[in-house]
Structure 1
Amino acid sequence: MASESDRPFTVIEPDRPAGPIVFSSPHSGRAYSPAFQEMSRLDLATLRRSEDSFVDELFADAPGHGAPLLAATFPRSFVDVNRAADEWDPVLIHGHGRLPRGRVNDRVTAGLGVIPRIVATGVPIYDAPLSVAEVEARLARCYTPYHDALAALMDRAYRRWGRALLVDCHSMPQPSAELLSARLPRPPEIVLGNRYGTSCSPELMAFLERQFRSFGYMVVRNEPYAGGYCTQAYGRPESGIEAVQIEVSRPLYMDETRLEKTAGFDTVRDHLSQIVRRLILHWSNAAGTAFAAE
């Protein structure tokens, strides 16, 4: 696999921009350098458990419908850009406790800060703490360029269209039984997150829910994923800038054990392509938050 020292992201631009929407896939990067693999105590297959595997490919038709697609190339287990830059883990980072910076929250305590201490399965990534210099180098090489690119795309959309929408694209494992609501007939397949109503309008959430339900998906809102740092930081509906997180259940399109696409991949990608096209058309043409009737 390529080195994470290569360009930390890709941007696929539309030939003909069709509206003020930006798609972002912050967790689908799969460029694991030999240096990172040597630093880790885990094999590559275990490191990859934290990936939102193939999500960039699931949403790859967005540029063809008129919206840019930004995707990280570095892995989430190396740097997590869906965290605040100061979510430093004092258990992992040597000397961090002496620095006048950092926020400690449930994510950081669990080992899922901006530099993760564990992979998604809960297994520690390292045998020894990381230095502050190592963390700062990763943020400078990956985190800052990614958010600079995302902010620039959002600003360009806003300046051109007078508003902007970030669609933050993710995947999720099948939720465990304790996370499922008793009222659901089957596990959620799509989770839409808007930080409990603070990052985008109810109209947008209702529109997206209708689109996914039209293909038969079980859709829930904000449970168990309400949106991470990107949704929270970029969603400012009162200023005409909205953000929504979309989580797609991995069993729909991949084998989570082998980390391979299944026969369902093409179907899910086709459905997402149609939903993306409808979203761009309706959201771009809507006046204010009033969505066009279907």
Structure 2
Amino acid sequence: MQLITYLPGNSALVLDSPHSGVVYPPDFLYTCETSILRKAEDTHVEKLYDFAPGLGAHWIEAHFPRSYLDANRNTTELDVSLLDEPWPDPVAIDPVVLSKVRLGKGLIWRTTDDGLPIYQRSLSVEEVMHRIEHCWKPYHAAVAEAIDAAHAGHGYSLHVNCHSMPAIASSHATNFPGEKHADFVVGDRDGSTAIPALSQRVCAHLTALGYRVAYNHPYKGVELVRRYSDPASQRHSIQLEINRKLYMNEETLELTAGFDTLKTHLRSLVEMLLKTDPRQL
């Protein structure tokens, strides 16, 4: 069972999609309805960017679902109430991190975005360790390898962490339930994972295409942009959220007529980034 794809590129641009996986491992053993659980996926994001490797971008994609293991979380962001025995490793104590864990959105999800329980059982330490070993570690290793290669080859790296978001925030998805989302959200953790000039260039490009763009709200970026960025060393990471209403039916998960236009616009964004040297901004 292939759980990760890594396609090396020859440019300074790295794209990764940690949440578009649809391969549900047999040891998941969830009890909620699959149709509800699938709404946790960043559905079709990998299709929106499938042109990128052909342009020279590095591409990493998770095939396991985020509800099985969320690669955009630290391994310390674990809801220990899920377990049938004590967790042997450190767990997060940061209040911001804990707010997501309390929503059921830690490393291993406890609930769906609507607050429905995913399991009617406790998980063992062994099975959580298995998920970390076979999903989290290889995914993060691939992202780190791609960024290192991009930086070594060009003196800088541009990393875009690719996501999608519902048109309206669900009750247990963020700390802003019911919020109507913009078309795009560009996140750089308040300028700490990429120089603001680069983030603003992305915002300006999308705005010029007619989209409504938000900056660092309600999504600032999480573990993948935090862990692998260092703007002072020319390692820049941005989280990019796309509103699903632009390209799909959120109930049926089917693509809509907007998909092709959006994909064309994303290609123009990627082409712009391929020509951007952050050292010149």
Q: Same fold (TM over 0.5)?
A: yes
Q: Secondary structure at the match of 2:186?
A: strand
* Structure 2 unaligned blocks of 5 or more: none
Give 1:108's aligned residue.
Answer: 101
Cα distance, 1:139–1:179 mapped onto 2, change above 3 Å = closer
**2:263 paired with 1:269:** yes
Give 1:3's aligned residue.
Answer: none
Give 2:61's aligned residue.
Answer: 71
Q: CA deviation at 1:289?
A: 4.0
1:201 and 1:289 in contact (8 A); partners too: no
Over 6 Å off, 4+ runs: none
Residue correspondences, number: 272
| One-letter amino acid of the counterpart of residue 101, structure 2 | V
Measure the CA separation in 2 of the matches of 1:197 and 1:272. 22
Q: CA deviation at 1:108?
A: 1.4
Give 1:12's aligned residue.
Answer: 7
Measure the CA separation in 2 of the matches of 1:172 and 1:231. 17
Measure the CA separation in 2 of the matches of 1:138 and 1:100. 15
Measure the CA separation in 2 of the matches of 1:128 and 1:65. 46
* Structure 1 unaligned blocks of 5 or more: 1-5
1:82 and 1:230 in contact (8 A); partners too: yes
Cα distance, 1:130–1:289 mapped onto 2, change above 3 Å = farther
Deviation string 1:66-90 (CA, Å, 9 cap, x unpaired) is 2111110000010100000121111
Residue 33 of structure 1: which of 25, 33, 46 is its match?
A: 25
| One-letter amino acid of the counterpart of residue 81, structure 2 | V
Residue 241 of structure 1: which of 224, 235, 258 is its match?
A: 235
Measure the CA separation in 1 of the matches of 2:226 and 2:123. 28
Give 1:219's aligned residue.
Answer: 213
TM-score, L = length of structure 1: 0.88
Q: CA deviation at 1:225?
A: 0.5
Give 2:143's aligned residue.
Answer: 150
2:186 and 2:213 in contact (8 A); partners too: yes
2:31 and 2:118 in contact (8 A); partners too: yes
Percent identity between the two aligned chains: 36
Q: Note the aligned Cα RMSD (angstroms).
A: 1.9
Q: CA deviation at 1:55?
A: 0.6
More divergent stretch after superposition (114-123 vs 216-225): 114-123
Q: Secondary structure at the match of 1:261?
A: coil
Q: Secondary structure at the match of 1:91?
A: helix
1:83 and 1:113 in contact (8 A); partners too: yes
**2:80 paired with 1:90:** yes
2:3 and 2:23 in contact (8 A); partners too: no
Deviation string 1:74-110 (CA, Å, 9 cap, x unpaired) is 000101000001211111122235x352114111122
1:203 and 1:289 in contact (8 A); partners too: no
Q: CA deviation at 1:27?
A: 0.3
Give 1:52's aligned residue.
Answer: 42
